[in-house]
Amino acid sequence: MQQLEPIEGIDRFEIINAPLLAPSLWQFDDPAAEIRCRPVERALGQVVGKWNPDVVHIHGFEGFGAGIVRALRRRAVRVVVSLHNHHPYCPQVFLMRGRRIACTDFDGGRACETCETGIDIGRERERRAGLRPTDPVPVLPVPPMPPTVGLDEDGLPDAAAHQILAASPATWRPVEDADFLPTRHEPASTPFARRRMAYIAALNHADAVLAVSAAVAELAAAMGVDTKRTRVVPIGSWAAGRGPVRLGHWPLGPEDPLQLVFLGFNTYPKGLAMLIDAIALLPVNLRQRTHLAAFGPGCRAMEPRLAELSPWLGGWELGGGYDRQSLAGLLEGRHAGVVPSVWLDNGPQTAIELRAFGVPVIGARIGGVPDIVQDGADGWLFRANDRADLARTIALLFEDQRRWTSVQKQSRPWIPMAEHAARLSELYRSVL
């Protein structure tokens, strides 16, 4: 453990060469190690002994293990846990089988055993400790992507696309919150089951468990977390009060494009690939008036896919990472932001930022998205991972332009960070 330079008066500490690896997926092959990691617990004990905190707020267990809650409580420290992802129940965080399909049956932990391919944990520990300075950073194999919609020379879905639509592969199956809820609980007889039960026990030893959305609270209860200690506390946003930005011209003229924007990391669960499929399913005349912009790390990787669609697309723009100062400029002139999550997305910041800047949101009806977007009030919801339903939702904006005007007028502010911080401070007092 070492102390870092404070930031704006906030003390910072860093654990060096922790035995548990983060990100969690790198620790996948040794779930038992996450149940109790004594070196990390001792390191945290040093901080507690030096700084004497009243409350410890845990925002993630990756690299720490489940045992830190009990270790902190033994020192008479109050513990608050925020659930920003599903790491306590799923070592690869997303509750997705092979990072592609909703995990609908944990099967007592047996489903995890064939879900991922881990790394050499011992070798990676040595690399981080400087004992293998020439070793590269581990790279996990990327699972195959789902089949995509191809177009023929007339811009219509080609024969292969029709076969995909008829076959309805598992990666195309629509998902709902209920798909992720456990339907049965078995004794913790496998390493992954014992890992999950250890984290649930840790949450039940915390003084308060904060769910960032109603869906997260429902999942926690289904997993076995005591509902009496769980509270739904939406997160605040730095963007609150910064908007609204100037939106695209409306109503659309006969040739005007509909300007859609996607924000965030281009990782499979965030659904950018699914969004492009949905646009490909639009009628040709509407697709030729649809412009898609995507900004965030990895978004430029979609260039080959969009280039294929270019002859029948109203335009596209791809950009990499962005900062807070540039976000308003990226949103200027857009008609709607799309949040096409294909996992039980806890509480997507991008949906919050779009709403904070007054941009109507087309969002998946999954996870925390419905807590942020009210269907027909300040945006529209579609069935998650349902390409056809998303295409229908986009098409309705062309066909009933009063829908956009109504939603734009009902744009609501989001929770400022100061208000969120005040609520957390009150919550800390309550657990004391």
DSSP assignment string, 164-186: HHHH--GGG--B-GGGGS-S---
At 1 the pLDDT is 82
Q: Residue 374 in contact with residue 417, Cβ under 8 Å?
A: no
pLDDT at 288 over 90: yes
At 114 the pLDDT is 92
At 411 the pLDDT is 80
pLDDT at 413 over 90: no
pLDDT at 73 over 90: yes
For residues 64-90, average pLDDT: 96
Beta bridge partners of 151: 157
For residues 193-197, average pLDDT: 97
User: What is residue 261's DSSP assignment?
Assistant: E
At 26 the pLDDT is 93
* Rounded Cα gap, residues 103 and 344, in angstroms: 10
Cross-sheet strand order for the sheet of 379-382: 316-319, 290-295, 258-263, 336-339, 361-364, 379-382
At 218 the pLDDT is 98
Q: What pTM was estimated for this model as a whole? A: 0.94
269 three-class SS: helix
At 233 the pLDDT is 97
Q: Kindly give the interhelix angle for 272-280 and 387-399, rounded to the nearest 10 degrees.
A: 60
| Cα 73-79-80 angle, rounded to 5 deg | 160
- Residues 85-102: tens digit of each pLDDT: 999 999 989 999 999 999
pLDDT at 186 over 90: no
pLDDT band at 400 (very low <50, low <70, confident <90, very high): confident
pLDDT at 406 over 90: no
Q: Residue 383 in contact with residue 389, Cβ under 8 Å?
A: yes
For the record, the structure tokens of 209 come out as 């468990």
Q: Residue 236 in contact with residue 308, Cβ under 8 Å?
A: no
pLDDT band at 117 (very low <50, low <70, confident <90, very high): confident
| Cα 189-192-197 angle, rounded to 5 deg | 75
* Rounded Cα gap, residues 211 and 231, in angstroms: 6
Q: Residue 432 in contact with residue 55, Cβ under 8 Å?
A: yes
- Residues 22-51: tens digit of each pLDDT: 999 999 999 999 999 999 999 999 889 888
pLDDT at 398 over 90: yes
Distance separating the N- and C-terminal Cα atoms of the chain: 27
pLDDT at 240 over 90: yes
User: What is residue 1's DSSP assignment?
Assistant: -
Q: Residue 414 in contact with residue 355, Cβ under 8 Å?
A: yes
pLDDT at 227 over 90: yes
Q: Residue 70 in contact with residue 203, Cβ under 8 Å?
A: no
At 50 the pLDDT is 86
* Rounded Cα gap, residues 107 and 252, in angstroms: 51
Q: What is the mean pLDDT of the chain?
A: 94
Q: Residue 95 in contact with residue 181, Cβ under 8 Å?
A: no
Which amino acid does the sequence have at 39?
A: P
Q: Residue 369 in contact with residue 344, Cβ under 8 Å?
A: no
